[in-house]
Amino acid sequence: MASKPPVTPPVKPIRLPVTDDGGSVVLERRTQKVKPPQMYEVVMLNDDYTPMEFVVGVIQEFFGKDLEAATRIMLMIHMDGKGVCGVYSKDVAATKVDQVLDAAAKAGHPLQCVSQPLD
């Protein structure tokens, strides 16, 4: 599932040229420290007009949730005013938000969806 933290790729050493007293060049190894990318959660916001069935269908279609998980998220959105549908990298989260907003607009619903950095 996309909610698992990303696997850190192997670290490749960087070689920097260093000169010694004899004028020859010696390569020195330094390991690179790479941080995992910032993750973003995709959050759907509650409104009083979008049908619950539509929200469940959108969660199933765009976030790959089964009926039970989608219903649980929809109820969280309904009761708490918002619900997290998934955690992704920045580009993937932005794409998911665009897909949800496009589907809602085509169906004539005011459903809102945003992405926010995961703390």
Per residue of the chain (119 residues), give pLDDT as tens.
Answer: 456 676 766 766 666 665 556 667 777 788 888 999 999 999 999 999 999 999 999 999 999 999 999 999 999 999 999 999 999 999 999 999 999 999 999 999 999 999 999 98
Q: Is residue 11 part of a domain?
A: no
- pLDDT confidence of residue 18: 59
Q: For residue 75, what is the domain's CATH number?
A: 3.30.1390.10
Q: Is residue 105 part of a domain?
A: yes
Q: Is residue 34 part of a domain?
A: no
Q: Is residue 28 part of a domain?
A: no
- pLDDT confidence of residue 44: 98
Q: Is residue 32 part of a domain?
A: no
Task: Tell me the pTM.
Answer: 0.72
Q: Is residue 65 part of a domain?
A: yes
As for how many domains the chain has, the answer is 1
- pLDDT confidence of residue 31: 84
Q: Is residue 71 part of a domain?
A: yes
Q: Which residues contact 101 (CB under 8 A, 6 or more apart)?
A: 111, 112, 113
Q: Is residue 45 part of a domain?
A: yes
Please tell me the distance from the alpha carbon of residue 8 to that of residue 4, in angstroms, as a whole number.
12
The single-letter DSSP state of residue 5 is P
Most distant CA pair in the chain: distance in Å? 79
- Domain interval for residue 72: 39-117
Query: Tokens at residue 81, please?
Result: 């005013």
- pLDDT confidence of residue 30: 82
CA 87 to chain centre: 4
